[in-house]
């Protein structure tokens, strides 16, 4: 009984077949060895005859002859895979010519002829036999059970920091969890920065942010400015305000801390709460210029709250003709300063300077430049077609009491604004005449059909040819044609 058991153990331990492992080599030599083992394993299927007997093919010719080799080659290349049994039969017939391992025969002894020719035929026959083994149903005896090594390398966890960064740059999926020590994580971050790929740097920073304590992360980033800038930008984009403030405080960037806290007002929808928040921001450690801006922001919002309450009451009560004729399209709350100024010039232009809604009060309080004020007020009054207000806005008095027209923005811009608001030709001509540059004046006058300005300019230039040419552009029998004829006749007399 013990002998039987010993025989069984010897049988199982003496198996000729190797177990499948992932560490097998994938090069051509290992594939050749695998194919040879598959060929040798077929000997157990093929009936072995005595070595002394002459072996023949199915055609009846000796195996070693040249004609047999040619026919076998042709049949191997044109054979079809009609059935697995027929394939096995062809494979058995081909490989029946191979001697047993224990025999004294070699592969060259299978063929007749001299050494050089027989060596060539031997090699050819072996290659054909191996390809036949691959193409036929013999694959059932040696199946492809493993993936190529290049494929399952992607799932390896033994990549160095440099290799990991390279794979991430190529878009490969790889886990960073294997980097457990602080040193490995810092090396990984340095490799990511050296790769100059923002996406990879951000991915590594997210991993470090999740796996390191804040104090350690902040201390290491303080000496890595590129990575630090990436993290600050990432935190601002994702809105992680608390983490960002802790980082900036650690770096002792007080002004950036103040600005980051100031940005929080954008998330406050209630106007009263926003006003109180801005009031608290005034005491933050801003620079002198930024402190002035925060103060103006708070003051503007306070004014807007007052103006909005009064105007809403007037609009609902129907006491103002201007609000009935031009209903408000939106609330003034949280609007920029220029928009607030336009609103005041549109609805409250004639109010006294002491009123919060007065345009002059806004100009004085927020130190609005003359150019900006004139441009905004001109647009608002032209939209209402209040040409008298436009004239008063552009009229100034000197210390002697004389009046003159003055436009800080230039009269050519005044003409363009008036024309966009459909100003009549008489109003346009008044301001086209005030354009100092002659060429610009002629272009504007011609473009907007201010005939009198064109005629007067050519007259001052004493350009008879241009006057004659322009005569064809006015209507026959019109006042403009008579004016041109009068000027031309006076030129002739002189």
The string of pLDDT tens digits covering residues 96-146 is 444 444 444 343 443 344 444 444 434 444 344 444 444 444 444 344 444
pLDDT for the residue 277: 93
Model pLDDT for residues 413-426, shown as the tens digit of each residue: 999 999 999 999 99
Each domain of the chain, given as residue ranges in start order, spans: 161-252, 261-368, 383-449, 450-493
Residue 365 burial (CB < 10 Å; 0-12/13-18/19+)?
middle
Query: Could you tell me the maximum CA-CA distance found in the chain, to the nearest angstrom?
Result: 150
pLDDT bracket for residue 82 (50, 70, 90)? very low
d(CA 407, CA 380) in angstroms, rounded, equals: 16
pLDDT for the residue 31: 54
- Cβ atoms 228, 189 nearer than 8 A: no
CB atoms within 10 A of CB 336: 9
Phi, psi of 149 (to 5 degrees): -60, -35
Model pLDDT for residues 447-465, shown as the tens digit of each residue: 999 999 999 999 988 888 9
For 410-457, give the DSSP string: -HHHHHHHHHHTT--HHHHHHHHTT---HHHHHHHHHHTT-HHHHHHH
Q: Name the nearest CA neighbour of 301 among 328, 276, 282.
A: 276
**b/e string for 410-432 if b means 16 or more Cβ within 10 A?**
ebbbbbebbbebebeeebbbbbb
Range with the lowest mean pLDDT among 45-59, 214-228, 376-390? 45-59
Mean pLDDT across the stretch 193-199?
Answer: 92
Residues β-bridged to residue 26: none
Q: Name the nearest CA neighbour of 132 among 96, 79, 61.
A: 79
Mean pLDDT across the stretch 471-492?
Answer: 86
Under DSSP, the state recorded for 60 is S
d(CA 159, CA 146) in angstroms, rounded, equals: 22
pLDDT for the residue 455: 92
pLDDT for the residue 35: 53
pLDDT bracket for residue 256 (50, 70, 90)? confident
Q: Look at 492 and 120; give whichever has higher pLDDT.
A: 492
- For 21, the token pair is 């492992």
Model pLDDT for residues 28-68, shown as the tens digit of each residue: 445 555 555 654 554 444 444 444 434 444 344 444 444 44
pLDDT for the residue 494: 58
Q: Look at 99 and 408; give whichever has higher pLDDT.
A: 408
pLDDT for the residue 11: 56
Long-range CB contacts (< 8 A, 24+ apart) of 165-172? 165/191, 165/192, 165/194, 165/195, 165/197, 165/200, 165/204, 166/195, 168/192, 168/197, 168/199, 168/200, 168/203, 169/195, 169/197, 169/200
Mean pLDDT across the stretch 399-407?
Answer: 85
d(CA 167, CA 161) in angstroms, rounded, equals: 10
d(CA 91, CA 362) in angstroms, rounded, equals: 101
């Amino acid at each position: 009984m013990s002998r039987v058991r010993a025989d069984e153990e010897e049988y199982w331990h003496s198996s000729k077949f190797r177990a499948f492992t992932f560490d097998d080599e994938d090069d051509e030599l290992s594939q050749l060895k695998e194919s040879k083992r598959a060929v040798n394993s077929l000997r157990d299927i093929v009936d072995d005859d005595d070595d002394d007997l002459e072996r023949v093919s199915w055609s009846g010719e000796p195996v070693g002859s040249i004609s047999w080799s040619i026919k076998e080659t042709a049949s191997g290349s044109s054979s079809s895979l009609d059935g697995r049994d027929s394939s096995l039969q062809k494979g058995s017939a081909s490989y029946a010519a191979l001697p047993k391992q224990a025999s004294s025969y070699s592969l060259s002894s299978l063929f007749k002829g001299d050494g050089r020719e027989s060596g060539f035929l031997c090699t050819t026959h072996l290659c054909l036999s191996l390809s036949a083994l691959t193409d036929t149903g013999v694959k059932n005896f040696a199946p492809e059970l493993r993936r190529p090594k290049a494929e399952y390398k992607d799932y390896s966890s033994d990549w160095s920091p440099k290799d990991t960064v390279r794979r991430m740059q190529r878009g490969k999926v790889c886990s960073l969890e294997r980097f457990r020590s602080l040193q490995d994580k810092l090396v990984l971050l340095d490799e990511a920065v050296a790769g100059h790929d923002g996406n990879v740097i951000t991915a590594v920073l997210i991993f470090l942010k999740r796996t390191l304590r804040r104090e350690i992360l902040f201390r290491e980033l303080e000496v890595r400015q590129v990575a630090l800038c990436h993290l600050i930008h990432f935190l601002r984009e994702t809105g992680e305000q608390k983490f960002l403030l802790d980082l900036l405080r650690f770096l002792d960037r007080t002004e950036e801390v103040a600005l980051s806290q100031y940005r929080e007002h954008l998330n406050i929808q209630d106007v009263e709460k926003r006003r109180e928040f801005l009031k608290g921001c005034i005491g933050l450690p801003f620079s002198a210029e930024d402190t002035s801006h925060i103060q103006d922001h708070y003051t503007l919002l306070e004014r807007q709250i007052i103006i909005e309450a009064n105007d809403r009451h007037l609009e609902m009560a129907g006491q103002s003709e201007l609000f009935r004729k031009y209903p408000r399209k939106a609330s003034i709350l949280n609007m920029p300063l220029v928009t607030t100024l336009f609103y005041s010039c549109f609805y409250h232009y004639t109010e006294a300077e002491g009123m919060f809604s007065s345009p002059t009060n806004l100009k004085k309080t927020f130190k609005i430049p003359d150019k900006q004020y004139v441009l905004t007020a001109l647009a608002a009054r032209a939209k209402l077609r209040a040409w008298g207000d436009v004239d008063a806005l552009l009229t100034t008095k000197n210390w002697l009491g004389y009046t003159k027209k003055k436009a800080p923005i230039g009269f050519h811009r005044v003409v363009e604004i008036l024309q966009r608001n459909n100003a009549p030709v008489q109003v346009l001509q008044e301001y086209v005449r005030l354009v100092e540059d002659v060429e610009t004046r002629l272009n504007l006058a011609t473009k907007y059909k201010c005939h009198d300005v064109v005629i007067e300019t050519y007259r001052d230039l004493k350009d008879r040819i241009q006057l004659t040419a322009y005569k064809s552009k006015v209507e026959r029998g019109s006042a403009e044609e008579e004016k041109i004829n009068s000027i031309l006749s006076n030129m002739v007399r002189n």
